[in-house]
Copies of this chain bind each other. A is one copy, B any other.
Amino acid sequence: MSTRRITEHDVPALALGCALLGTGGGGGVEPEVLATTRALREHGPVPVVTLADLADDDLILPLSAIGAPTVAAELLPSGAEAGAIRRVVEARYGRAVAAVMATEIGGANGVAPVGWAAGLGLPLLDADGMGRAFPELQMVSMNVAQIPPSAVVLADTVGNVATLDTVDADWAEQWARALCVASGSSAVLADFVMTAAQARTGVIAGSVSRALRLGTLLREAADPLPALIAELGAAHLVTGKVAAVARRTEGGFVHGTATVRGTGPYTGTEVVLDLQNENLRARQDGRVLAVVPDLIAVVDAYTGVAVATESLRYGQRVAVLSWACDPIWRTPRGLALAGPAAFGTDLGAADAS
């Protein structure tokens, strides 16, 4: 049994790591740092377990917030959502949940499950369903592994709870998104509730440890940017200034583009990022430098700290990095679910610009 526990003192490092793996999305981590720190203070540290610690039929509850990041910073959760979801899930399965899992390690959704686990008195599984952030809920490794979405349970800030039995994960996304928008573009969601035996075939292990390691490096390294690039094995696409940001919030998503104009050794290089909550693609002179499912992060040029899509501002000094995704996303079904073709309209529209 792992003896690792997450305390309130780990939250800043975890948040830095999650923000980086969020590739611009998954929501700004700041509100979650406050909420999670408070939850850990109130309920005590959260034990971190690995899949090896769980029995085959232990029930795992993957949780995430769903909505537009620009809204999430203003319409805060009520705090009762995870408890309401757990009650519905346990009633449905007729047994207790053994561990919470972050559906998405990237961004706020990597941090919030720690607070939810603390509030529920449950351990957190050292794993997630993306290894990064993605904008839609069918884009998870459990879906690549063909684990059914099972009942999707969604709770909003008002106290409403929906149990969705959909024919597939695409319909789960469509319905959950519709409810999320109806509730002000902010809700908490459980999907792909599964046993540990199922999870062994379809989750990305070690995600929480990885986020903590990356965040600790950013806090402790003397020269964080080169240390980060070395740790990730990342390509350094550009360092420069944010020269343009075009963003709109629509249908529960943030869409748009951002342009980074190189400075110093990168003078003359201009990288355009295509966004849908996350950084989907980086282009230079129409040439694709990196694209989903690989990870693209915009980080502060000096501190290496990730800049979220909704925090991009004209004139910021940033570096753009890219690195390889988890191998599960390079499988044919992984690429079909979260490769460039899965983002057709956004990436297509950007091509025309």
Interface residue ranges, A against B (CB under 8 Å): 88, 158-167, 171, 174-175, 177-179, 181-183
Interface core residue of A159, A165, A183 (most chain B CB under 10 Å): A165
- Look across to chain B and name the residue whose beta carbon is closest to the beta carbon of A165: B161
A345–B165 Cα gap in the complex (Å)? 34
Contacts of A162 in B (CB 8 A): 162-165, 175
* Apart from A162-B165, A175-B182, A175-B183: 18 A-B pairs, beta carbons within 8 A: A88-B165, A158-B167, A159-B167, A160-B166, A160-B167, A160-B171, A160-B175, A161-B164, A161-B165, A162-B162, A162-B164, A163-B163, A163-B164, A174-B182, A177-B182, A178-B178, A178-B182, A179-B179
User: B residues within 8 A CB of A165?
Assistant: 88, 160-163
Q: Which single residue of chain B is at the shortest CB-CB distance from A87?
A: B165
Nearest-neighbor residue (CB-CB) of A171 within chain B: B160
Task: Show 16 residue pairs from A and B whose CB-CB distance is below 8 angstroms, ordered by the A residue.
Answer: A88-B165, A159-B167, A160-B166, A160-B167, A161-B165, A161-B166, A162-B162, A162-B164, A162-B175, A163-B163, A163-B164, A174-B182, A175-B179, A178-B179, A178-B181, A178-B182
Bound complex: CA A98 to CA B177 (Å):
35
CA distance A194 to B158 in the complex (A): 24
Contact among B158, B175, B181 with A171 in the assembled complex (CB-CB below 8 Å):
B158
